[in-house]
Amino acid sequence: MLEPHPSYKPATIKSRKQFHVQRNNMQISIFKLLYSCFGSL
C-alpha cells in the first residue's frame, strides 16, 4: 500500500515495529469501514 519515504530509516527495531503496527491498524480501520458500508446494504 503506502511505501515510506526513501529517507525513512527506523532508528531502532522498536520504531520499525511501531511503524508496522500503525500500518496494520490503518488497514484494519479501512477494512472495518468497507465492512460497515457493505454490511448496511
**pLDDT (tens digit, 9 = 90+) per residue, 1-41?**
566 555 556 566 677 788 888 899 999 999 999 889 888 76
Q: Residue 26: CB partners within 8 Å, gap ≥ 6?
A: none
Give the separation between CA 35 and CA 33, rounded to whole angstroms: 5
pLDDT at 37 (0 to 100): 85
Give the separation between CA 24 and CA 20, rounded to whole angstroms: 6
Only one residue has cell 520504531, namely 15
pLDDT at 38 (0 to 100): 85
pLDDT at 30 (0 to 100): 92
pLDDT at 20 (0 to 100): 84
- Identify the helix (H) or strand (E) that includes residue 25: helix 13-39
Tell me the whole-structure pTM to 2 decimals.
0.48
